[in-house]
Structure 1
Amino acid sequence: MASPLDRGGLPGHRVSVSPLDTAAAARHVATTEDGQRLSLAEQVAQVPTDPGCYLWKDASGEVIYVGKAKNLRARMKQYVQLTDDREKIPLMMQLVASFDYIVVDNEHEALVLERNLIGQYHPYFNVDYKDDKSYPYIAVTHGDVFPAIKYTREKHKPKTRYYGPYTDARAARETIDTIRKVTPICSATCAEWKRVRRLLDKRPDDAGIIGLICAQKGRPCFDYHVGRGPGVCAGMISPEEYAVNVRRVERFLSGHRSELTRELKEDMSEAAAELDFERAGRIKRRLDVVDGLDDRQQVVFPTSVDIDLIGFYREETIAGACVFAVREGRTVRTCEFIVDKGLDVAEDELVAGFVKRYYDETADIPAEVDVAVDLEDADVIGQWLSAKRGRKCTVHRPQRGEKRHLLETCERNARHALMRYMMRTGYADDRTNQALLQLESALALDGPPMRIECFDISTLHGRFTVASMVVFTDGRPDKSQYRRFKIRTELDEANDFASMSEVLGRRYAPERMADERFGSRPDLLVVDGGKPQLTAAMRQLEQLGLDIPVCGLAKADEEVFVPWDDTPVVLPSGSASLYLMKQVRDESHRFAITFHRELRDRAMTVSVLDEVEGVGPTRKRAIMRHFGSMKRLRAATVDEIAAVKGIPAAVAQAVYDTLRA
């Protein structure tokens, strides 16, 4: 395997290849002296303790995960011994058949190498953009004598500086158009600029006299005539003067417009002093363009700060990300992305993966990056960003204030971006269909469970015991079919089995099964709980003579218990089927506990006011209608209670004294 370091990563550093990478090394490490193959754990035990990157591979040799470590052996042992508590690790390690590792000198270099490897292999278990398209950037071609600006989706070139990414292609093109109104610069699409570039490529020694050559043989392009080109093609500007324009363009793209504005004002004053009013007028128009941009920007901070705020909104296996680029206290760019991981990975892993992916491809690094979670390797990421920026950059988690408020706005925008993506692509429909087909297979059903009914019990030591029935039709909540039940059985203590038997007996009684208001027969019945709850449900259905597919979902390990096997069914972590089952279970729990609290609060309110002499049903309704809640009633004075229509002063005093007692 050719080292990624040899492909422009970190030249000159030591590279170690795993024992599974070459035949000679495999004979040396992957097998013992008597020819027996070493286990994965035994191979990991021989990995060095240096910093570096590790690549887990499946049986076909494809890289499925890339990670970095300060201590390779210790980190990789966490995987093979399953001491890493991330949900994806057990599933991933079932697929791992081999590994590679690469040793570097420190953790910072390991982070840079990790990004290179992820970009090269695009491993399934690493965080990446959901859609595999390349995002547009604004680029300045620094490798040329006269650098040009361009809109591009190209792979990043060493001598080109990139700004972005922009998730709105039109916004990127409009930005280029605005920049060229403010500071004339050549466009990489200009035919005359390409001609000058070809001349310099053929005879690079002519760079010092290129202005004379162009003045004699060149001709001004259209952009020069409309004030957006500096006249390189006709020898109107020297490389030194052109370099000033390039610096101004880069400051503009970085959001640092105050310095640009100051320079333009100085140029305008100088032109006016020289009585060159035509030039002064051109500069004034450029200043008006910059001022117009500032008028449209929302001031988000009272001080001049350069920060990026990154917010996320996660679904089960997908997430939306939103980046607010704030420069000099103003939001200069907003970008939205879809990420291919969600609740199936830890939040800090998702955030760290996105941050590395995003800043790996942009030159616009702020002084501070704000995220909503503490990152384990925040210091290392900060060092990496500082090295790219040339000045200090920190990764920070704001707790309060303007930054926290704006971060919450980012999260709301990320949610909307994700919802728009799911609607546009039909992601939710595909995911739901996939979930129903997976449940059909995993639970050995006759067909996809198009109607799922789930029951849950909520009680307080046997008091106010209620049951909920939620219905999912075609994989989505069907709230018109939701039902709730008060448990009639007298209970001295909580008894989920008796309560579940009662509610199933009432729901699936012949008269209810014939009642159109209760809908059709379910394709799958889900009870909240493990084997005991499943047994109670099956016994009740047998008494009713019904053959309805039933399963129990245990909350502890997300295991699905089925009647035909003592071993629970374990749905794959992150799968659409597990997500649907958890959604059904959680919705039934929410619906049950809401009804339980409603009954309990109502009973507490009734019992308190029933103790007051002179307060009957009519006066009780009048009091509660007036105050709206027990909290407001308890905070009321005697005079405020007496102000309720139909409540005498003596009764108001009695209500007040009872509540205080």
Structure 2
Amino acid sequence: MSIKDPATHVPDFDLEAPRPEAQGLPSVAEQVGKVPTEPGCYLWKDAKGEVVYVGKAKNLRARMLQYVRLTDDRAKIPLMMQVVRSFDYIVVGSEHEALVLERNLIAQYHPYFNVDFKDDKSYPYIALTMGDTYPAIKYTRERHRKGTRYFGPYTDAQAARETIDTLRKVVPICSATCVEWKRCRRYLKGHPDDAAVANLAFADRGRPCFDYHVGRGPGVCVGAMTPSDYARNVRQVEQFLAGRRSAIVGELTQQMHDAAAALEFERAGRIKRRLEVIEGLDDEQQVTFSSAVDLDLIGFYREETISCACVFVVREGRTVRSSEFILNKGADVDEVELTEGFIKRYYDETADIPAEVDTHIDLPDAELLGEWLTDKRGRVCRIHRPKRGEKAHLLEMTARNARHALMRYMVRTGYADERTNQALLELESALALDGPPLRIECFDISTLHGSFTVASMVVFTNGRPDKGQYRRFKIRAELSEANDFVSMGEVLGRRYAPVRRDDERFAASTPDLLVVDGGKPQLTAAMGQLGALGLDIPVCGLAKADEEVFVPWDETPVVLPSGSASLYLIKQVRDESHRFAITFHRELRTKAQSVSILDEVPGVGTRRKRAIMRHFGSMRRLRAASAEDIASVRGVPTSVAREVYDTLRAWEGEGRDQREAT
């Protein structure tokens, strides 16, 4: 059920394999130009002929041309098309048929670039062996078999087992692990003509199982129940597992009243205890709706290359279970692809389909997916995005649960450590370093038109933030406007001055990699300053626009693969330095506003400033005040109040410009 290579990095695709045109064959683009314009599925293949991506299309040629022309704006497409050397396609009669075929092909090939479950395991189900005369219930991870109905999947194996145990207290039904049930099953397979009168046959030759002795088994093994009566129990079990408990409660209540009317008080007492079990389940419900709705709510939480989907299964207005699934794609694919990919995978493997599936975004294929689910369910099912009310609130809850589940998974599997090690090794290779950059220092400049210019230095040790090593600098150069070139040169000169290199506060060491926030100009400033200091420190610049990494030894920027661990790490370093610089800059600006802004107003001296601040109590209240409010302060003339008001507005305008610029 997992992808072919469950590792956290891109598999070792052969990017140097010759393309068709190099072998005198038509190029992939030329071949796509001959593809029909009918609906169908396409399969992109690598140099080894292995399928790396499966997709569907209403118009095969138009959709596939978006890939070869790189007009599809998804981040993974450029990398994927570097891998592609050939393709196949299958024409079908409609887009709906293409959707069904796409899911089957993904299940067959498990392509690397498609969204799939990450866990290399099968999920547990609760199953009913409907092909038997006396169907039994079982916990299983088996592939779906004909003649067996499956409920799930469950991500908590213990919860699935407890559900079976609780259910058998409510409705007596045989367990597929029961030795006597297996004996009865073998007999009926050898004597199919006895199926209609199986209870009579077992009454003569049967042996009671342990569950029958303790009142949890229906007594099939000793002929205590006819196939028709047993079928009624099986129907109740199906209703229970599908979340339709009201029907079971109604039937059991009627049976209890009938037994009491017939003076069968012991039987009535057993049924009452079963009803109490169901009532106990209802008492445990933490999330309920005011109406008896049947729906699934799906929320996601994404990291860079991994994510978690959380499904709340609501039946008759009550949440009957929640399940979390780890997926092999995250922020490296867009939300629509991730959501649609999960819906296709999840509902391909479950028979429990509700009347409504709620997601946090609008899906372009919502109508098509709804038609597919309607066919599987046999009744109408729609895909919906709630924007307010109970459903929207519950979707937020599913996203929070997905986040916690993903964090637990990462801690349990050591995913973060593995990915960090991978990132350091990838950076070593991509940036031609002598070794993994165990200490990374990153610098960023923050300014407001040359005022309050500051710089930040953040440090990552072994791929993790080392906040005890963070430093911040006030730029001393007199600047009439923003000048990152001069500012970067100054801060690097101060950081790597000989006296600082021996300072324990800076770990008395130079970094394995120096990162500057910005492109070629910032990198040039850094190289010039390091050269003046006689230092040979590996350095690179990271531009915000296209996430390009500039290096001194090549005019062409290094492009780290989208979704790679190395790109995620270096972006994290850059973003952390930016956050640290902005925080310091705003802190200085706010302090300056509260301390010195009134000093710049003509006519405001020490006494008037004290009177104004005593009257309003804080700069926040003063900034919100009108000119008339300020003029009401004792000892402040109207003309001075207007000057104060205008000065405050001017400062707010500059601050707004800075926020928009950043």
Provide TM-score, normalisation by structure 2.
Answer: 0.89
Structure 2 distance, partners of 1:93, 1:254, is 43
Write out per-residue CA displacement over residues 468-516 of structure 1, whole angstroms, 9 at most, x where no aligned residue.
1111111111111111112221222211111111111111112222221
2:545 corresponds to: 556
The alpha carbon displacement at 1:634 in A equals: 4.6
- Are 1:137 and 2:125 counterparts? yes
1:473 corresponds to: 461
Residue identity in the other structure for 1:426: G
- The correspondence of residues 115-126 of structure 1 with structure 2, limited to 5 A, is 115-126=103-114
User: Structure 1 648/344 Cα, relative in aligned 2: closer, same or farther at 3 Å?
Assistant: closer
1:603 corresponds to: 592
The alpha carbon displacement at 1:133 in A equals: 0.5
Write out per-residue CA displacement over residues 416-451 of structure 1, whole angstroms, 9 at most, x where no aligned residue.
111111111111111111111111111111111111
The alpha carbon displacement at 1:600 in A equals: 2.3
SS of residue in 1 equivalent to 2:113:
coil
SS of residue in 1 equivalent to 2:43:
strand
2:276 corresponds to: 288
Write out per-residue CA displacement over residues 137-166 of structure 1, whole angstroms, 9 at most, x where no aligned residue.
101111112111100000011221111111
Q: Give unpaired runs (5+ residues) of structure 1.
A: 1-29
Structure 1 distance, partners of 2:198, 2:571, is 69
Contact kept? 1:458, 1:592, Cα under 8 Å: yes
Structure 2 distance, partners of 1:637, 1:458, is 31
Write out per-residue CA displacement over residues 225-274 of structure 1, whole angstroms, 9 at most, x where no aligned residue.
22222121122212221111111111111111112111111111111111
- Are 1:71 and 2:59 counterparts? yes
User: Structure 1 103/211 Cα, relative in aligned 2: closer, same or farther at 3 Å?
Assistant: same
1:571 corresponds to: 560
- Are 1:351 and 2:351 counterparts? no
Write out per-residue CA displacement over residues 275-315 of structure 1, whole angstroms, 9 at most, x where no aligned residue.
11111101000000000000011243211111111111111
1:522 corresponds to: 511
Write out per-residue CA displacement over residues 530-581 of structure 1, whole angstroms, 9 at most, x where no aligned residue.
1221111101111111111111111222111111111211111111111111
**Deviates most, 213-222 or 273-282:** 213-222
Structure 2 distance, partners of 1:616, 1:191, is 95
- Are 1:418 and 2:414 counterparts? no
2:147 corresponds to: 159
Structure 2 distance, partners of 1:632, 1:577, is 46
1:444 corresponds to: 432
Structure 2 distance, partners of 1:158, 1:135, is 18
Residue identity in the other structure for 2:517: D
Write out per-residue CA displacement over residues 386-435 of structure 1, whole angstroms, 9 at most, x where no aligned residue.
11111111111121222111111111111111111111111111111111
SS of residue in 2 equivalent to 1:37:
coil
Structure 1 distance, partners of 2:332, 2:549, is 18
1:492 corresponds to: 480
Structure 2 distance, partners of 1:336, 1:299, is 17
Contact kept? 2:613, 2:619, Cα under 8 Å: no
| 2:570 pairs with one of 581, 584, 588 | 581
1:304 corresponds to: 292
Contact kept? 1:614, 1:651, Cα under 8 Å: no
SS of residue in 1 equivalent to 2:319:
strand
Contact kept? 1:609, 1:615, Cα under 8 Å: no
Structure 1 distance, partners of 2:84, 2:243, is 45
Structure 1 distance, partners of 2:612, 2:523, is 43
User: Structure 1 655/210 Cα, relative in aligned 2: closer, same or farther at 3 Å?
Assistant: farther
2:166 corresponds to: 178
Residue identity in the other structure for 2:428: E
Contact kept? 2:611, 2:633, Cα under 8 Å: no
The alpha carbon displacement at 1:205 in A equals: 2.5
Residue identity in the other structure for 1:450: L
Contact kept? 2:457, 2:470, Cα under 8 Å: yes
User: Structure 1 655/191 Cα, relative in aligned 2: closer, same or farther at 3 Å?
Assistant: farther
Residue identity in the other structure for 2:292: S
- The correspondence of residues 177-196 of structure 1 with structure 2, limited to 5 A, is 177-196=165-184
CA RMSD of aligned residues (A): 2.6
Structure 2 distance, partners of 1:128, 1:552, is 35
User: Structure 1 656/311 Cα, relative in aligned 2: closer, same or farther at 3 Å?
Assistant: farther
- The correspondence of residues 36-435 of structure 1 with structure 2, limited to 5 A, is 36-435=24-423
Structure 1 distance, partners of 2:226, 2:505, is 83
SS of residue in 2 equivalent to 1:309:
strand
Structure 1 distance, partners of 2:638, 2:605, is 11
User: Structure 1 50/204 Cα, relative in aligned 2: closer, same or farther at 3 Å?
Assistant: farther
Contact kept? 1:634, 1:659, Cα under 8 Å: no
User: Structure 1 536/230 Cα, relative in aligned 2: closer, same or farther at 3 Å?
Assistant: same
The alpha carbon displacement at 1:455 in A equals: 0.8
Residue identity in the other structure for 2:283: D
Structure 1 distance, partners of 2:181, 2:641, is 87
User: Structure 1 207/620 Cα, relative in aligned 2: closer, same or farther at 3 Å?
Assistant: farther
User: Structure 1 322/657 Cα, relative in aligned 2: closer, same or farther at 3 Å?
Assistant: same
Write out per-residue CA displacement over residues 184-218 of structure 1, whole angstroms, 9 at most, x where no aligned residue.
11111111111121122223222112121111111
SS of residue in 2 equivalent to 1:604:
helix
**Deviates most, 266-275 or 221-230:** 221-230
Residue identity in the other structure for 2:328: D
Identity of aligned residues (%): 73
Structure 1 distance, partners of 2:289, 2:492, is 58
Write out per-residue CA displacement over residues 77-103 of structure 1, whole angstroms, 9 at most, x where no aligned residue.
111111111111111111111112122
Contact kept? 1:641, 1:652, Cα under 8 Å: no
The alpha carbon displacement at 1:602 in A equals: 2.6
SS of residue in 1 equivalent to 2:256:
helix
Residue identity in the other structure for 2:592: A
Residue identity in the other structure for 1:447: G
Write out per-residue CA displacement over residues 44-103 of structure 1, whole angstroms, 9 at most, x where no aligned residue.
122222211111111111111111111111111111111111111111111111112122
Structure 2 distance, partners of 1:503, 1:178, is 67
Write out per-residue CA displacement over residues 154-180 of structure 1, whole angstroms, 9 at most, x where no aligned residue.
001122111111111111000000000
Contact kept? 2:367, 2:383, Cα under 8 Å: yes
User: Structure 1 183/434 Cα, relative in aligned 2: closer, same or farther at 3 Å?
Assistant: same
The alpha carbon displacement at 1:601 in A equals: 2.6
User: Structure 1 533/280 Cα, relative in aligned 2: closer, same or farther at 3 Å?
Assistant: same
SS of residue in 1 equivalent to 2:485:
helix
Residue identity in the other structure for 2:436: P
2:581 corresponds to: 592
The alpha carbon displacement at 1:466 in A equals: 1.4
**Deviates most, 258-267 or 204-213:** 204-213
SS of residue in 1 equivalent to 2:82:
helix
Structure 1 distance, partners of 2:595, 2:263, is 88
2:15 corresponds to: none
- The correspondence of residues 529-548 of structure 1 with structure 2, limited to 5 A, is 529-548=518-537
Contact kept? 2:41, 2:91, Cα under 8 Å: yes
Contact kept? 1:138, 1:150, Cα under 8 Å: yes
Contact kept? 1:317, 1:341, Cα under 8 Å: yes
Contact kept? 1:54, 1:68, Cα under 8 Å: yes
